Amino acid sequence: MRSPLIALATLATLTLPACATAAPSPSQAASVAGEEAAQQRRPNIVFIMSDDHAYQAVSAYGGEIAQLAPTPNIDRIAREGAIFANSYVTNSLCGPSRATMLTGQFSHLHGFTKNGQRFDNATWNWVREIGAAGYQTALFGKWHLNYSPEGAGIQTWKVLDDQGKYYNPDIITPEGRSVVEGYATDLVTDFSIDWLEEERDPDKPFAILIHHKAPHRNFMPAIRHLQTYLGTEFPVPTNYFDHYDGRPAAAAQEMNIYADMYEGHDLHMTEEAGSNALRFDRWPDDFARMTPEQRAAWDAQMQPANDAVNEAGLAGRELALWKYQRYMKQYLATVAAVDDSVGRVLDWLEANDLSENTIVVYTSDQGFYLGEHGWFDKRFMYEESLRTPLVMRFPGQIAPGTRVEAPVQNVDYAPTFLDYAGIPARAAIQGRSLREVVDGEAPPDWREDIYYHYYEYPGFHSVRAHYGVRTDRYKLIRFYGDINQWEFYDLATDPGEMHNRIDDPAVQPIVARLQLRLEALRAQYRDSDGPAVSDPLTAAAKGRRDAEAAAGIAGHAH
């Protein structure tokens, strides 16, 4: 579709100057045309990221839950390109993760270690760099690094305020803030497609960042998806009623579905049959900002199920199981809109002959718990939140159906985009270009293990600060701060991470080797935050007592 236009533009450059006084020589004209062609050939980048989307809820990853709630459009990226089977974050939290993707650095280097901090927009980021090299750059959706991307070098942007709201969200643009009526996932998609269609200069390559709020808390589906999973029973994770034995930090968290979720705000439960008044709703604004029509449509679809559970008068274990089902239904229904959005973007690329020369990436800012250990939220270095979905399509460069086994991390995105755009990597970047592994074969010096560091404590959900290493089989974690707790898991025999074997004499040689490895990784990435690996902090026994006391204080009913 675009090629005839380009041919015409080229013809114009070749013919028009003939009547001008300073007409270029034929060789100059040819080189201008060559540069234009090269410029045109640089791949476009469509970087789609959702917020808190668990890989367990992406059907391309093959899990049981996602088979009941498939994501055909995200899967299409995987089918026509690559799926990364071992994709991890460096710090499982929104702000730090986004800063890592922009800078290619671990949290301690870019400095954004916890939510609520302000990312210094002047910090180097790949979007500004690629823009300076001739790309058009745009960001629509969640930013969450401070008020707005003003000054971060992103040319066009329209962002959700802070975490973003599902219905009629506040939108911040260079002109200021306003409430825009609609459903966040659809609005972000509309903004993106409008820009692609109407505002972008078709003669330049582009990088567009489409960053959704969904499926982040408080899990409000679009009206059209409210009933999508109401009739589906999801398999309950085998460790839903976890005892947390031997894992005091896990026992002390406050992210339990049946103990910590807000019944109104998160689970959308009502006070009593016949009433649409929500149960405990810590932030009433999420519902209060719906229009009367939206709220009426919501109530019409949700009331029967809410009345039924109120009439049933469930308690204890039964109620805990019901809450898991409600959480899954709502969470997965918000994912359905994200998948619709991915479909709209892929279809738009196709219809505009842009599929071939465009890299499409879908990922999330981190993983999420879908009831494993009884949890929602993320933060822990356990598998479900350490991993994040990652699929990437680039026809002609990535063979359809590629499965990448090499461990990759979100520090790798910035160097990947620069690499494909033909811009030299920067020394300060700590990741490596994924181009090196997308043929399914990792180079011999590719990383064999990954490093992780979580900081936000005290904070939401009370997850202790920790760092650790994960190899292809083992995981060693150290929780620190008001506790000093080491954990060791053999993922081959204990994929659910239920048995902390740190004191098991049989694994001491492996633990010792991993401690050295952890020390080496901290040195390699220049992370001196938190205690040194060799630092006993306080006596281990005291640390454990503190941790167990802390776990007691949390007082969950299990």
Residue numbers at the binding site for ligand SGN (CB under 6 A)? 51-52, 93-94, 115, 163, 216-218, 283, 377, 460-461
CB of 347 to Ca ion, least distance (A): 27
CA–CA distance, 120 with 102 (Å, rounded to integer): 12
Q: What's the min distance (Å) between Cβ of 53 and Ca ion?
A: 9
Which residues ranging from 78 to 107 are in contact with Ca ion (CB under 5 A)? Answer: 94
The least distance separating Ca ion from the CB of residue 361, rounded to whole angstroms, comes to: 17
Q: Where are the beta strands (DSSP E) in 267-326?
A: none
Q: How far is the CB of 366 from ligand SGN (least distance, A)?
A: 7
Give the residue among 49, 57, 52 at the shortest CA–CA distance from 237: 57
Show the tokens assigned to 81.
């390109």
Length of the chain: 558
276 binding partner (options Ca ion, ligand SGN, none; Cβ < 5 to 8 Å by kind): none
DSSP 278: B
The residue type at 511: V
The region of 122-130, 191-199, 355-363, 364-372 touching Ca ion under the rule CB under 5 A is: 364-372
For Ca ion, the closer of residues 66 and 94 by Cβ is 94
- Say if residues 170 and 187 touch (Cβ distance below 8 Å): no
SS3 label, residue 354? coil
What minimum distance in Å lies between the beta carbon of 377 and Ca ion? 9
In 148-235, where does DSSP find H-type helix? 184-194
Quote the CA–CA distance of 551 and 356 in Å, as a whole number: 53
* C-beta closer to ligand SGN: residue 323 or 393: 323
CB of 90 to ligand SGN, least distance (A): 14
Please state the closest distance from residue 262 (CB atom) to ligand SGN, in A: 7
Nearer Cβ to ligand SGN (129/260): 260
Rule CB under 5 A: say whether 207 interacts with Ca ion. no
| CA separation, residue 71 to residues 77, 235, 342 (Å) | 11, 18, 9
Those residues whose C-beta lies under 8 Å from the C-beta of residue 361, and which sit 6 or more positions away, are 45, 46, 47, 48, 77, 390, 391, 392, 413
The answer to whether the CB of 77 falls within 8 A of the CB of 346 is yes
Comparison of 216 and 247: residue with beta carbon closer to Ca ion: 216
Sign of the CA dihedral with 505 first, then 508, 511, and 515 last: positive
* CB 167 to ligand SGN: min, Å: 14
User: The tokens of 206 are what?
Assistant: 């582009």
Binding test (CB under 5 A) with Ca ion, winner from 52, 266, 436, 449: 52
Judged by beta carbon, residue 51 or residue 340, the one nearer Ca ion is 51
Give the nearest residue (CB) to ligand SGN. Answer: 94
Instruction: Give dist(CA 50, CA 547) in Å, integer.
Output: 34
DSSP assignment of 59-99: GGG--HHHHHS--HHHHHHHHHSEEESSEE-SS-SHHHHHH
129 counts as binding Ca ion under rule CB under 5 A: no
Q: Which CB, 242 or 266, lies closer to ligand SGN?
A: 266
Please give the helix or strand (H or E) that residue 297 lies within, else none: helix 292-312
How many of the chain's residues bind Ca ion (CB under 5 A)? 4
User: If we measure between CA atoms, which residue out of 47, 38, 152, 134 comes closest to residue 417?
Assistant: 47
360 binds Ca ion (CB under 5 A): no
Closest to ligand SGN by CB, 103 or 115: 115
Query: Which of 505, 477, 480 has the alpha carbon at shortest distance from 489?
Result: 477
The partner in contact with residue 461, picked from Ca ion, ligand SGN, none with C-beta cut-offs of 5 to 8 angstroms by kind, is ligand SGN
| Binding test (CB under 5 A) with Ca ion, winner from 75, 266, 281, 365 | 365
Strands laid side by side in the 474-479 sheet: 450-454, 466-470, 474-479, 485-490
Q: Which one of ligand SGN, Ca ion, none interacts with residue 456, CB within 5 to 8 A by kind?
A: none
Return the number of the residue (335 or 533) whose C-beta is nearest ligand SGN.
335
Nearer to Ca ion, 219 or 244 (CB): 219
Backbone Cα Rg of the chain = 25
- The region of 49-57, 84-92, 164-172, 175-183 touching Ca ion under the rule CB under 5 A is 49-57
CB-nearer residue toward ligand SGN: 382 or 394: 382
> Closest separation between CB of residue 219 and ligand SGN, Å?
9
Three-state DSSP class for residue 139: strand
Stretch that binds Ca ion, among 48-56, 143-151, 282-290, 401-409 (CB under 5 A): 48-56
Amino acid at 251: A
Cβ closest to Ca ion, residue 51 vs residue 266: 51
CB of 378 to Ca ion, least distance (A): 7
Residue 258 phi/psi, 5° resolution? -90, -10
By C-beta, is 102 or 406 nearer to ligand SGN? 102
Q: Which amino acid is at 119?
A: F
Least separation in angstroms between residue 92's CB and ligand SGN is 8
**Residue 75 contacts Ca ion per CB under 5 A:** no
What is the Cα–Cα distance from 135 to 206, expressed in whole angstroms?
A: 5
From ligand SGN, Ca ion, none, interface partner of 115 (C-beta below 5 to 8 A by class): ligand SGN
Q: Is 51 in the site for Ca ion (CB under 5 A)?
A: yes
Residue type, 206: F
Which phi and psi angles does 179 have, rounded to 5°?
A: -90, 130
Note the residues at the interface with Ca ion (CB under 5 A): 51-52, 94, 365
